[in-house]
A and B are shown apart, each in its own frame.
Chain A
């Protein structure tokens, strides 16, 4: 029977009630009396010398309070990059300054040039139109291959060749990989693009800066996945405000998908301007502005080679990738194509030799950083595409080819040749499950039925693995991370039994307010109703690193468990005193302390009360109160993995692709709330299918963003999606965290794009249309073009 409480129960989400009644508190819902409004004047050219900004006429416009330009920010720091990458030759990456407002040059359409602060948004917007900007346009650097050709203009003087770094991994394997590929029975080569995407959480970014003259404290309300990280970066590196004078609040946040991890110029601006003017300053992005200012995702151009022996055994992989950084280095941009990408190139397989070369490229485009999956979708896509192509070339069933190369279930812990060590897994099991869920046996009949209607039906199946639960601090420190990646929690048991958990994790759709109490309820034997979660406020929670990389339950949840264990340990001592027994003899189960071998018991609430009313209490041995904090630093990543299957129908007359079914078999280890886990997978699948079939970010050669609104950027809509079949019954619990959990937030977006593209290619090739590859998005036009090219 399904549980109705604690770990494993599909409890309905408590946060839904406020969201369903309009009682949510998103950042734009916050208005502070006397607040002013900010509008950013942004560059309309991609690359240019900024000769002058004349604000005189604009400053006289109605309602204008003050106009800021780059000059006002020359004394403060630039937006920092959080991860140092070292090139193959041992030199550090090129790290040009990313100013709050453009200085000297503009480097992408949308680069902020000036900020008008006025009494109303309309007045700020009107005044911005009166600012005269003198820009001497320079050639735009847009295409990555052209950018590194040696004949392009330079985006930054510090990187004349537009290369931020040239990274090799594993550098020591380079010659061995070359030799293995040279001598192999078969080598499959694939050139592909993992196109640029825009995260597009439905809530655009917002920042409200406030300064309290009485306390000297600055407060920033912002749409962030990690308020403490913003406080650290903005306080220490940009504005020079110590932590005790800077509070960052991220209230209800309407989705992030990575794009709200990063520290943005607008946050620093509103905090700075509020203090400079002495009034609250609010900025609300509109969607068009979001397309020009939110960090974007993916954008890799890759050549991958897979060497196989005559039995289809993988011998070596070599990849060459150009990764777009855009115009400036966003917070975690440099880590995405390197440590979040190269380390995943073993996939689910025993390939012994792997070498990846990644050149990160500056272009006159919006900065690129982590987007749901971040590096791991890029790794999975190229690997699972090249395997499918190899299967076709060698005449081996694509599922069988994967099975021949899976890391065997008895080989864990498995040390990959790309640094990471998988602790647990069972890839045959998830493949078995997907073969069953997707009814692979029934596919020929469905294909025949489609054919009878003139349609080509295809089946795409692939495996995936990801590294989540980011991350062991000492390991990532060695790899160049400039931060620790632990998580924190304080568990406070109050006198009357009400429990509050203050976590550094942040929920922006994941449902922590429901799932975290399930863990506490299980551990303490209390009802979930007695537990509340506080998150998203640097003043109310211990220093934490926030939510991304599917880390909340694996790292934040582990910190909460550690704090709760400290509570139980202390409560046992109190209980032993109250029951006049030795602490070693006290057991705690289902919310009741008992003395082994006796009928003495005392409940959790009574112990909590005694902790705060310590009349009969061992004050000589333990302190009053029942509140504990824990910081948890994981010893390894977690490795969610699984197998996905997609069936499509292609109309050979029009190139239209219809997703007929999609099934996912995921191994997330233990699961706290199955309903929420399934919802996370659904959302990831939609983003992955969206990437495969619809979404694309297109810049003109002049650097104008041609897909700058929902009219042009094809967000997945309800009638583009099928109902999904998802399963998480294959469980190999994580071996190194207390809950045995792995994380589920990104899997869907990582595993699904290759399944869709493989299905389309299966449909075409099975119909006698020989096509090796179609780049995403596999739009009707691209499919139609591929059909025409194959037939003529």
Chain B
């Protein structure tokens, strides 16, 4: 079995995996990071989105063995250093952007990726970027609101820092 080493949420981890082991299986079953979810088997729902080397990736669609040396961030790595919710996470709570919580980790990871690439998205841009993330609970209304608010909070924080 191939051995794989990577950095996950800032910690170096390694393990023996089968060639067919998916990144999401490695995270959930080998590392016990169960915040990343599996909601489909056709790369449609986005519940499994994590960041790999800074890009959002569907972890159900990439082999763990292919990511030797990669840097991975999961939902467990998104809070602030002091344990408080990060800006995107906090906006989801403030705007009731989640109900059952199952799609939420993928939504947060995708939203963070969007805001990194486009700090001031329009509503249409937010909706378009969420194309690969399905939520069955919220009707997306409050998810879109949360992401718009996170964008505003981030730019506000940046202005304050400058």
Q: Which residues of A contact B (CB under 8 A)?
A: 12-13, 15-24, 26, 28-29, 31, 122, 200-204, 252-255, 257, 286-288, 508-511, 675-676, 678-680, 682-687, 709-711, 715-719, 721, 723-724, 748
Contacts and interface: CB of A to CB of B under 8 A. Distances in A.
B11 interface: no
Given A19-B104, A287-B41, 11 more contacts: A13-B96, A21-B75, A23-B35, A202-B47, A203-B37, A254-B101, A255-B99, A255-B137, A287-B39, A710-B45, A719-B124
Contacts of B85: 17, 20-21
Given A22-B75, A710-B134, A717-B131, A287 B101 contact: no
Given A17-B85, A202-B135, A22 B141 contact: no
A371 B37 CA distance: 23
Interface in B51-90: 74-76, 78-79, 85, 89
Contact of A254 (B37, B75, B128): B37
A473 B133 CA distance: 41
- In this complex, the interface size class of chain B, counting residues with CB under 8 Å from chain A, is 35 or more
Nearest to B47: A202
A676 B20 CA distance: 42
Contacts of A508: 100
Contacts of A509: 99-101, 137
Nearest to B78: A21
A678 B124 CA distance: 22
Contacts of B141: 679, 682, 721, 723-724
Nearest to A724: B141
Contacts of A719: 124, 127-128, 130-131
Contacts, number: 184
Interface string B24-62: 000011000111111111101101000000000000000
A724 B136 contact: no
A727 to B, nearest CB: 14
Interface string B103-143: 11100100000000000000110111011011111111111
Given A676-B96, A719-B131, A15 B45 contact: no
A685 B136 CA distance: 11
A685 B134 contact: no
Nearest to B9: A22
A717 B100 contact: no
A679 B138 contact: yes
A255 B133 CA distance: 16
A12 B94 contact: yes
21 contacts: A12-B94, A13-B93, A16-B93, A19-B105, A20-B89, A20-B92, A20-B93, A22-B74, A23-B76, A254-B39, A254-B100, A255-B100, A255-B136, A286-B40, A287-B40, A511-B99, A678-B96, A683-B138, A710-B44, A718-B143, A724-B139
Contacts of A680: 99
A289 to B, nearest CB: 9
B143 to A, nearest CB: 7
B136 A723 contact: no
A287 B136 contact: no
B75 A687 contact: no
A635 B104 CA distance: 38
B76 A510 contact: no
A17 B78 contact: no
B134 A682 contact: no
B112 to A, nearest CB: 12
Nearest to B141: A682
Contacts of A22: 33-36, 74-76, 105
Interface string B135-161: 111111111100000000000000000
A91 to B, nearest CB: 39
Given A21-B85, A122-B20, A682-B142, A257 B94 contact: no
B104 A20 contact: yes
Contacts of A687: 136, 139
Given A12-B93, A21-B76, A710-B42, A718 B103 contact: no
Contacts of B96: 12-13, 675-676, 678-679
B111 to A, nearest CB: 11
Given A287-B45, A721-B140, A679 B101 contact: no
Contact of B79 (A21, A31, A684, A710): A21
Nearest to A18: B101
Contact of A723 (B36, B40, B98, B144): B144
A685 B103 CA distance: 18
A75 B9 CA distance: 51
B59 to A, nearest CB: 13
A723 B123 contact: yes
B34 A26 contact: yes
Contact of B100 (A203, A678, A748): A203
B35 A202 contact: no
Nearest to B104: A19
Contacts of B135: 202, 718
B35 to A, nearest CB: 2
A717 B134 contact: yes
Given A202-B136, A254-B101, A26 B144 contact: no
A680 B100 CA distance: 11
A254 B102 contact: yes
Contact of A288 (B41, B136, B137): B41
Nearest to A508: B100
Given A201-B136, A687-B136, A709-B40, A255 B102 contact: yes
A683 B137 contact: yes
Nearest to A510: B99
9 residue pairs, one from A and one from B, having the closest CB atoms: A22-B35, A19-B101, A254-B102, A686-B139, A509-B100, A710-B44, A509-B99, A682-B139, A718-B130
Q: Which of B45, B108, B136 has the most CB of A within 10 A?
A: B136
Contacts of A20: 75, 78, 85, 89, 92-93, 98, 101, 104, 108
B18 interface: yes
Contacts of A24: 34-35, 101-102
Nearest to B125: A719
Contacts of B38: 28, 204, 286
A721 B139 contact: yes
Contacts of B124: 719
B15 to A, nearest CB: 15
Contacts of B40: 286-287, 709-710
A685 B35 contact: no
A417 B135 CA distance: 40
A716 B39 CA distance: 15
